[in-house]
Amino acid sequence: MADLMQATGLEKGGIYRHFPSKEAVAAEAFDYAWEEALQERVRDLDSIPGSVDRLKHLIENFVERRSTIAGGCPLLNTAVESDDGNPVLRERARQALSRWEDLLTSVINQGIQRGEIRSGVDPKRLGMLVISTLEGALMISRLERNPDALATARSHLNCYLDKEVRARKPRTSISQANRNERTHRS
């Protein structure tokens, strides 16, 4: 609250005059912080052509780019802090998680449709795997004040995406390739 008072130049009463409750202030602050964090996560995403590479870019942005809002991931922080205390804030965090899941699921579904991602991949489960791995690694990195957990998570997820998620191009046998070549020459 002190930071908000300093940033706005308002006293506590002046701030509360614009909001129905302190829970509403917290919800608005979360919405702002989440939007800032999300913008960093999707930065330059539209310039990446393939779906697996888009997922890898989202992971890279999570690991390397921090929100302009200090204090770490607003989703992780808010989920922990609001679990038992502020139902409005908890719901906002739940909606933010859903929005992030929807983004990942959309990229994954698009990749399946384009044949870039294996058809057996469950978009919802893969999205949750990415989120939970990154958020867990962030928590460990913050506790240890060391980026190793995030670097390890990035490396593991990138390898998993390449080996288990990315669709394989069908192999043609040498004799099939030779037949195709002869057909093209004729």
Name the residue among 132, 112, 114, 131 with its Cα closest to residue 122.
112
Number of H helices, E strands in the chain: 9, 0
The reported pLDDT for the residue numbered 106 is 98
* SS3 state of residue 108: helix
The reported pLDDT for the residue numbered 165 is 98
Query: What percentage of residues in the chain have a pLDDT greater than 90?
Result: 58
Quick check: 58 pLDDT over 90?
Answer: yes
pLDDT digits (tens, 9 = 90+) for 95-153: 999 999 999 999 999 999 999 999 999 999 999 999 999 999 999 998 999 999 999 99
State which CATH number among 1.20.20.10, 1.10.1240.10, 1.10.10.10, 1.10.357.10 fits the domain covering 22-167.
Answer: 1.10.357.10
pLDDT digits (tens, 9 = 90+) for 64-87: 987 667 777 888 888 888 777 788
